[in-house]
Structure 1
Amino acid sequence: MTAAARLLRVPLSGVLLIGVLLIVSFASAKAEDYDPWPGLVQDIFNNRPMNDGAEVLAIEMPARAEDASLVPVTLRSKLSPADTRRIKTITLVIDKNPAPMAAKFTLGQDANVTAISTRVRVNSYTDVHAVAELSDGQLYVTKVYVKASGGCSAPAAKNPEEAQAHTGQLRYRQFTQASDGATSGAREAQVMVGHPNNSGLQMDQVTQLYIPAFFIDDLKLSQDGSLVLAMEGGISISEDPNIRFTYVPNGAKHFEAEAKDTQGHVFQHEWPVESSGS
């Protein structure tokens, strides 16, 4: 029996189902094949030329995320000490997230920041790009591919009352020295901000309504007033933003953090800089 004859023996409902499945499969394939990056270069970077950043910046993420709402990412400078250029900004783009620009980091001119780690939400299988702007005015890009889904709509870990009590708490940790061959005299530190960082895509499990977006959109870290690192954040930064970084101390006696969120709240704290970290 020919394929055409067999098809004629299929009930009409079966033919319709086959048609629907074919359409869905075709649409899924098209969505999987779609590459948003060229449009993001236009929207985020105004179509500026992109250079290969393999020798400038590394982006480290797991190939498959254990928890799509808490995916670790590390951005690491690969510039040699002899290179007279410096990294001015790093923009982290999660291509297929609802709001692709996850964060833009501005590095203090004299802080010599060589590594930044944080945690992000990843909503679907996607390329993740990191774009460094150097002091020569050029952009350099590198990328990784991450398998994860549903990170932007995953329920918050804390209930609303616990999250509210926790909001605005700032914690600071410093380490004795930086690891993995960083610049001589460099050290690592970590700043944690208590905040729900609601994405706007999460649903209240009681009311079944979407929780409005509410997140840290500005974070500045300084040593005695001299900028170490600033972050312009978005909905892709995970709940309770956590930034770990490597920098060179300038002899400051205090380390300061100032965080602002999308509702206009300002959270500030300062800590004494210890001679040896924990």
Structure 2
Amino acid sequence: MSRLLSLSVLLLAMQAAPAPADAPTPYDPWPSLQQEIFNGRALQDGSAVLAIEMPGRAEDAAIVPVTLRLTLPPGDARKVSAITLVIDHNPSPLAARFELGRDAGVSEISTRVRVNDYTDVHVVAELSDGALYMVKTFVKASGGCSVPAAKNAVEARANLGQIRLRQFAKPGDAATSGAREAQIMIGHPNNSGLQMDQLTQLYTPAFFVDELRVWLDDAPVLAMLGGISISENPNVQFSYVPTGGKRFRVEAKDTEGHVFQGEWKAESSGM
């Protein structure tokens, strides 16, 4: 059989063969999450209201940095009352909900999260008029929720609940707005419940900070309701506009009922 005839037979066989089945469409949990977390409320395009910054590919899936910025257009009299962070493919997708003090002027929040799989990350801002605005990004990471704790259990317990607060001038527009930044660091293993003890081969029970609240005097600045997606030793940094308050108060609670508190003098707004 000539080479040309062999090629013709091969082409006829390919035409006669059934087409391969279409690859299954990857599961998208977002429609169900939207229904469950936001009760099916309409979500508008939030590109003019907020922004999310995360690495496209995480260097360490257990401590992926995330920054949320509020970008309400000038002249918009509404305020952002809450921000919800959802990591779609995490075992517990609702990573955190941040509630903003009405007069605190919070415009930026940063923290560190665990990412368990390649996933969309959605951020939804709720405004004072009740409207919801959403943006999203995509992150490549794997296994962040099951990475063993960096410290052993004894060392982690020794540092449990230690809170530190840093205050510093906010770069950029701070000279005109008076904005400052603060960073809260809490010593806590924040166990996800998916981490295996390498000695016992048993899973370490979930144990994490599920509530963090910050006040300037008696005025609420920021609250975080967190879950297993927040990284070990929770770290939350935020911008704010000083209101004349003299002292910061911080209170954190975890899933075993521990309450951790701290109080610091508020530094001046000068650069």
Q: Is the pair's TM-score, using the shorter chain for normalization, greater than 0.5?
A: yes
Does the CA contact (< 8 Å) of 2:86 and 2:96 recur in 1? yes
User: Partner residue of 2:242?
Assistant: 249
Measure how far apart 1:195 and its partner are.
Answer: 0.5
Q: Write the deviation string for residues 90-141 of structure 1: whole angstroms up to 9, x where unpaired.
A: 0000000000000000000000100000000000000000000001111000
Does the CA contact (< 8 Å) of 2:113 and 2:231 recur in 1? yes
Q: Which has the larger radius of gyration?
A: 2
Could you list the runs of 5+ residues in structure 1 that have no partner in the other structure?
A: 4-21
Q: Write the deviation string for residues 181-201 of structure 1: whole angstroms up to 9, x where unpaired.
A: 367011011011110000000
- Are 1:201 and 2:194 matched, yes or no? yes
User: Partner residue of 2:27?
Assistant: 34
SS at match of 2:267: coil
Q: Write the deviation string for residues 62-116 of structure 1: whole angstroms up to 9, x where unpaired.
A: 0000000000000000113421011000000000000000000000000010000
> 1:180/1:95 Cα in 2 relative to 1: closer, same or farther (>3 Å)?
farther
Match of 1:118 among 97, 111, 115: 111
Measure how far apart 1:180 and its partner are.
Answer: 3.8
Separation of aligned partners in 1, 2:252 and 2:74:
32
Match of 1:222 among 215, 232, 240: 215
User: Partner residue of 1:271?
Assistant: 264
Q: Which aligned pairs between 1:127-276 and structure 2 lie closer than 5 A?
A: 127-175=120-168, 177-181=169-173, 184-275=177-268
SS at match of 1:41: helix
Name the count of aligned residue pairs: 254
| Matching residue's letter, 2:202 | L
Does the CA contact (< 8 Å) of 1:174 and 1:277 recur in 2? no
Q: TM-score if structure 1 supplies the norm length?
A: 0.87
User: Partner residue of 1:104?
Assistant: 97
Measure how far apart 1:206 and its partner are.
Answer: 0.8
Does the CA contact (< 8 Å) of 2:105 and 2:240 recur in 1? yes
- Are 1:73 and 2:73 matched, yes or no? no
| Matching residue's letter, 2:105 | N
Identity, % of aligned positions? 66
SS at match of 2:146: coil
Measure how far apart 1:252 and its partner are.
Answer: 1.1
User: Partner residue of 1:18?
Assistant: none
Q: CA RMSD in A?
A: 2.0
Match of 2:82 among 80, 89, 112: 89
Measure how far apart 1:276 and its partner are.
Answer: 6.1
Separation of aligned partners in 2, 1:139 and 1:211:
37
Measure how far apart 1:251 and its partner are.
Answer: 1.1
SS at match of 2:144: coil
Q: Write the deviation string for residues 209-233 of structure 1: whole angstroms up to 9, x where unpaired.
A: 0000000000001100110000000
Separation of aligned partners in 2, 1:143 and 1:38:
14
Q: TM-score if structure 2 supplies the norm length?
A: 0.89
SS at match of 1:44: helix
SS at match of 1:137: coil
Measure how far apart 1:277 and its partner are.
Answer: 8.1
Separation of aligned partners in 1, 2:111 and 2:250:
16
Separation of aligned partners in 2, 1:239 and 1:277:
33
SS at match of 1:152: helix
Does the CA contact (< 8 Å) of 1:218 and 1:232 recur in 2? yes
Q: After the TM superposition, which parts of structure 1 deviate over 4 Å for at least 4 consecutive aligned residues?
A: none
